[in-house]
């Protein structure tokens, strides 16, 4: 948790990142940036999915509709927070010449998306006109 707080401080302090280690090949930094953007797109897609559940399943019971939408929106928020945090960790690891950080977030997100998808199938089949 302390590590996370330190990272959050670094999000807003670009100078401090540059003080560490050496500047890597700019192509590595750009690749890291593209990975960050890909995660951000995933987050935006999840947020769009939340809107879509709310808009395109109007016959669903209120609780299910709002629950599913909020689950997708929360996943989007988590995904974007993780995107910037992971980008920062990778950037620092590259500057220090360390191994890139490992993460169980992709597996976690896959499981959550799978669960939400199954819930949607069940809800659409059973809860329709609930």
Partner 1 sequence: MTEPARDPGLQPERTRLAWRRTTLSATVAAILAAKTALHGSTSAAGVLGCAACCALWLGFLLVANRRIRALAAADRPTALAPRQATGAVLCTIAIALCAAALVV
- Residues in touch with partner 1 (CB under 8 A): 10-14, 17, 23, 26-27, 29-34, 36-38, 40-41, 43-45, 47-48, 50-52, 54-55, 66, 69-70, 73-74, 76-77, 80-81, 83-84, 87-88, 91
Q: How near is the Cβ of 43 to partner 1 at its closest, in Å?
A: 6
Q: How far is the CB of 5 from partner 1 (least distance, A)?
A: 15
Best CA proximity match to 95, nearest among 34, 8, 26: 26
Contact 39, 82 (CB under 8 A): yes
Q: Quickly list H helices, 57-130.
A: 62-96, 105-126
CB of 17 to partner 1, least distance (A): 6
Cα 50 to its chain centre, rounded Å, is: 14
């Amino acid at each position: 948790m302390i590590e996370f707080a330190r990272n959050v401080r670094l999000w807003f302090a670009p100078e401090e990142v540059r003080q560490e280690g050496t500047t890597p090949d700019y192509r590595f930094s750009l690749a890291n940036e593209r990975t960050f953007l890909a995660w951000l797109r995933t987050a935006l897609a999840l947020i769009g999915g939340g809107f879509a559940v709310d808009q395109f399943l109007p016959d669903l019971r209120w609780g299910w509709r709002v629950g599913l939408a909020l689950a997708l929106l929360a996943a989007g928020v988590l995904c974007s927070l993780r995107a910037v945090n992971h980008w920062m960790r990778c950037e620092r690891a590259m500057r220090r010449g360390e191994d890139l950080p490992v993460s169980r977030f992709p597996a976690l997100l896959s499981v959550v998306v799978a669960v939400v998808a199954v819930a949607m199938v069940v809800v659409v089949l059973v809860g329709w006109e609930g």
